[in-house]
Structure 1
Amino acid sequence: MTSPVLQPGSGPIPAATYLPSTPDHVLWGRLPCATDAPVLTVDPGTELTLDTVSHEGILEDQGRDPADFFGRHGVVDVLDDAIALAGSDDPHRFGIDGPHVVSRPIAVSGACVGDLLAVTLLEATPRVPYGVISNRHGRGALPGEYPGEGMPLFSAFAGVSDDGTSGLLPLVDGGERSVRFPLRPFLGIMGVAVPGGERPHSVPPGPHGGNIDISLLTAGSTLYLPVQVDGALAYVGDPHFAQGDGEVSLTAMEGSLRATVRLDVVAREDALQRFGELAGPLAETTEYLVPTGMDEDLDVAVQHCVRAAIALLQARFGMDPRLAYAYLSAATDFRISQVVDVVKGVHATIRKSDFA
């Protein structure tokens, strides 16, 4: 049966260190920078559990009142931290700031510029049995076509099956028949702070990570991020229940998660031997090495990803670059991570077993 609603502090909390999503523990619409004070300082190897809050249902064009928004869909038990954030005096500026809610930064002792921060997702548990998929005019892969004339916003309410494994979306508004698709919870945003005193917008991803929206990064995966400020100042947010590569309509099935992560530091010398010089995020799953490429131009993002993949094969396996290029063409899928976050993302899936 579907798990009970995980209100702040209730239910299983796997790690000894717990960070709730109370208004003083999160940023809304912006990502941490070097001048932000850490909300926690942890040693490398620390596991911590964080509650995350989805932006769907709390945004201004949805009323900034999640109890009312979800109540219209028959939801009685709405997350207290979502209600608290929406009703707080947080100076979120709709249309200027991004939509995403992220944790305030977590400092990792000993992390230095040039090292890699490894963020491993150990567990991602839905906090509620529902999610939302939204489209706004001027956004998504088909701006101007959807959600439709005279409709600036369309928010589709998606349920979760009784066994908790599938999302359910009606075939037509108000209809009884639904399409059923697998839930694969992951965090759309994992990142490190940028240098300087200006917080980045939460939407475009970059070398700092941020809103990379790679659907492969489910439990058991690791994201490696080049540390840009001492202490790394890590953060997570933008919880997803499910997403197709591309995320074409602007959002995926967005829903709040309780996430348990482990934060490790890979020293620069070790990082160079294992991965080469990274210009941006690199992911690893049990099956794949996943280099990334990003740019506002999708063609350029593909080129960046191909170059990153060649450099990774050269550093990791000593492969000749020309043969690496040939191998990638014959054996590796290049997937569109997302096309809706201003800076478009591409990721490659290099099978580790090919080099066993």
Structure 2
Amino acid sequence: MRILVSGTGVAGLALAVELTARGHDVSLIERAPEFRTGGTPIDIRGDALGVVDRLGLLPRLRELSVDATESGVFVDADGTAVARVPAEQISDSDDDLEITRDDLARVLTDQLPSGTPVRYGDSVTALEEPDGGGRVDVGFLSGHRESFDLVLGADGLHSAVRHLTFGPESGHARHLGVYLGISKLPPEGAQVPSQFYNYPGLMAGIMRFKGEALAFFAFRSGWIDHDHHDLAAQKRILADAFAGHTEWEIPRLLDAVRRDPAFYFDAVSQIHLPVWHWGRTALVGDAAHCASPLSGRGTSLALTGAAFLAEALDRHPGDHTAAFEEYTARQRPYVDFAQASVEEGADVVVPATWETIHARNASVGGPEAPVESVR
């Protein structure tokens, strides 16, 4: 079949790899103007490890693995370590794999057949199924129009394909009361662990891996109405949340945010839909069922979802509805588990009170030796 995949994140790339390997003609479209880089390291866990193993990618991904959080520590206002990051509480098994998003994306991209069409700086603006639904006529932001047998939305939390198929995001999103911000820091050669400082309702951290460093922010808040494409507004929201905080490394980290043209900021939200398909269109990954970064399972859900959908299309040639229903039935238990796991994640990452901060630190125990500030 001729298939359009909207989005070149992990879900979109994994779909393209799975589908092209089965002989489908796949085109990729991405709203961003170029291949997206950056972001915190991500985890591949549980049955998603079997997916990348079947694709022959597991040995290479293990070679590229990083340790960004497993040796991390929580610090006090002076930068003295007071507790370790409880990695065992968020891992599914000892085999869980942590890798940078960039490395995973590049490994998946290298698996695509040469010449696979990828169009950047464009997005889907219209979906129509004329003549009894034998195809999907797609309109694009660029003004281009094209027809496909299937359209698969893998375009993330703010999915354009989902909006066109199921309506505004507000009807399906559940805000979890937390916002995240991520900014690049100058590379660091020091072999020191990642560090995270908490104040009630706030977290600021430095995440280190492969000599690289990221400023990491989280804060609790009710819904903030803003344009998620307005970078200046996002930086103001973060600065306001941390206003007056001069402890630890917070001023330096905020300076990095102000200078970063690729600053990431978003609400921690989930997407809840009763179904993930309509006609010849289906959703995969965060577009269908975002569990939020607090679950630590978004990448794994993207990989299993891509595999299950591609396998279902194989098993139901000529019957996309049956394939979509099988994909949903196989993926739904993974989604339900991931979406139910976030409350504990919020309490670990950004406790709401000093009492819960101290309780968390006591529950995981302090490190053997203090870690110096890297001011």
Q: Same fold (TM over 0.5)?
A: no
User: Structure 1 or 2: larger strand share?
Assistant: 1
User: Bigger radius of gyration, 1 or 2?
Assistant: 2
State TM-score, norm by structure 1. 0.28
User: Structure 1 or 2: larger helix share?
Assistant: 2
